[in-house]
Chain A
Amino acid sequence: MPEQLLQQIVNGLMIGFMYSLIAIGLTLIWGVMNIVNFAHGDFLMVGMFASFWLYTLYGLDPLFSIPICAVLLFVIGVLLYRFVVSKVMSGPILAQLVVTFGISIFIANLAVYLWTPDFRLIDKPLLSGTWHLGDVQLSIPKAVASLGSIVTSAAVFLFLKKTKTGKAILATEMDREAALLMGINTERINSLSFGLGAALVGIAGAFLSTYYYIYPQVGGLFGTIAFSIVALGGFGSISGAFIAGILVGLVQTLGGFFFDPAYKYAIVFMIYLITVWIRPQGLLGW
């Protein structure tokens, strides 16, 4: 086995798990409401900043601020849906595309205004350092984040399949009219899903803040990659987004290692384009 291969696979998996966590929130919103949330990366940023301020002002380790970030982003998501997004649901598609862009620009620059463009770091999280397992160096914060992503995704999956509300969300996703006819309050489901989607990426932000630097525009690249992942996995499919996230993480890392790091994101986007040409509904979408 060529040296470094195992290391790169491990790293690819870990960044993939982070991508997955970011993507499942996006796919949920997309699946239920048919809205591409261009502000998703900025929700990630808000989650990261929330974790940072809780750490800096109250000494709360990011692992413990996860529930707080989740709740905070949930509330923000629901409020944004209620007061802004819901109003364009019946409008032209272009308005739906653009409204979240407007929200994205607003949130990112509000962050600049409030917290300056300087970047921040959480320098001494509780779980830090590296495990040395033979030839492979395993970054502890990244490993913890990966575990968190798996647990959260499983939890969401179970929630959707087993609980009444969850099943209502799935039903709305599959066939909106039928769900309405079955007496499901689709408006409530919408706002719940938007909030849940935001909460999920808020959790991702809390995990990410343990090893990545934090600044107002951090959502940019993560967000763009998340769109590709969601479309690759099939919009609306949680398992699709999860698998696609891991795939993209592996492709990015291995592609960068074996081919050329300068092209690693181009490779990811190329895969997206090829997938939608061949199979427009994505890997697991319908």
Chain B
Amino acid sequence: MKGFSSKQIVIGSLVLAVAIVLPLIFTSTFFQHVMILVFMFGVMGVAWNIMGGYAGMFSFGQVAFFGIGAYTSSFLLMTYGVNPWVGLVIGGLVAALVAAALGYPCSNLRGHYFAIASIAFGEIVRTHFNNWKLVGAAEGLSLPMLDGGMKDFMFHSSKLPYYYIVLAFLLLALLVCRMVSRSKMGYYFRAIKESHDVAQVLGINVARYRLVAIMVSAFLTAMAGTFYAQYILYIDPDSVMILPVSVQIVLIAMLGGAGTVMGPLIGAAILMPISEVTRVYLGYKGTGIDMLVYGFLITLISVYQPKGVWGLVSNRAKRVG
């Protein structure tokens, strides 16, 4: 555990302990479901951060990797009986390769251009899957109900295993992100973000580092996709490849604090419960109030605290300490 201050270790362990104990105290499946969503989007927000918050490539097309992960593992499971855990890794690799192939030529694009290119990319992938008969096209894939248990990556009687698995994924993502941020690569990213041209003049191999960032980000996002498929047991392009999911990922990272390790987790912890709770208690009157609140919050955050909530917190901490 190199490089963690003792304060960080204590706080980290405390938070982790709470996360572990929480679903045992609050046993409502709805609560557990919301927390699972928080962690799952947390993974994707952290993954986005590696590309966007750190390396300055603001991707609005992450959902493509999410979908590729979900589809790869599900297709392999249904057609060849491949174990979902193996499918998880394969899905991540496929996503990373696609990211390298398509993302790399785009990685030199400046902020806005890259963002639009990523939207275009996401839509192309979705259209393709929507028409690809091999993977069910628009009908999607219904995963078979296996016996259940760790080896099947499927659990029927309780959500707890899902909860802990996605929590583990989140920890993995956070660790990777931290590694990136503290590594030479992360240092260079900050340089690249500050000024693309200066970094290039200094001889930093911008292209190579961007490639690595894209691939790592895609791998982690695809992991979340496989998790989703094993959790919901049904995927179709209309639910795992649509632009709103990409936007949500960006918003989570942004709200919590782009370019920070914990930021996306905070963002997810705020946005997912708001979205779910307002839907359950306000939504059913059919008036879209929950999304109104959402949009308003996002506008507010980008105007007044673009560093996100984490920015707020660390400012306060700096002032105090």
Contact = CB atoms under 8 A, between A and B. Distances in A.
Interface stretch (B76-84, B126-134, B148-156, B203-211): B126-134
A34 B127 CA distance: 30
A109 B124 contact: no
Contact of A98 (B254, B286, B296): B254
Q: Is the interface of A mostly helix, strand, loop or mixed?
A: helix
B292 A106 contact: yes
B119 A105 contact: no
A227 to B, nearest CB: 5
**Among B109, B121, B123, B300, which residue has the most Cβ atoms of chain A within 10 A?**
B123
Interface in A190-237: 216, 224, 227-228, 231, 235
Contacts of B58: 93-94, 97
A99 B117 contact: no
Given A97-B58, A265-B123, A276 B112 contact: no
B201 interface: no
Contacts of A2: none
Given A36-B112, A95-B302, 16 more contacts: A88-B303, A94-B58, A96-B302, A97-B115, A98-B302, A99-B299, A102-B299, A107-B295, A109-B292, A260-B131, A263-B127, A270-B120, A272-B120, A273-B121, A273-B124, A280-B108
A109 B289 CA distance: 7
Contacts of B250: 97-98, 101
Interface of B: 52-53, 58, 102, 105-106, 108-113, 115-117, 119-121, 123-124, 127-128, 130-131, 243, 247, 250-251, 254, 258, 286-289, 291-292, 294-304, 306
Contacts of B112: 30, 34, 36, 93, 97, 235
B306 A36 contact: no
Contacts of B258: 92, 94
13 contacts: A94-B258, A94-B302, A98-B301, A101-B298, A102-B301, A105-B291, A106-B299, A113-B287, A260-B131, A266-B124, A269-B124, A270-B124, A276-B106
Given A109-B288, A113-B288, A102 B295 contact: yes
Contacts, number: 137
Contacts of A94: 52-53, 58, 254, 258, 302, 306
B120 A228 contact: yes
Contacts of A4: none
Contacts of A263: 127, 131
B173 to A, nearest CB: 20
Interface residues of A, number: 47
B53 to A, nearest CB: 8
Interface in A101-118: 101-110, 112-113, 116-117
Contact of B127 (A97, A102, A117, A265): A265
Nearest to A278: B105
A93 B127 contact: no
Contacts of B298: 98-99, 101-102, 105
Contacts of B111: 93, 97
B303 A266 contact: no
A183 interface: no
Contacts of B130: 262
Nearest to A116: B286
Nearest to A274: B105
Contacts of A107: 295
A91 B130 CA distance: 39
A137 B61 CA distance: 39
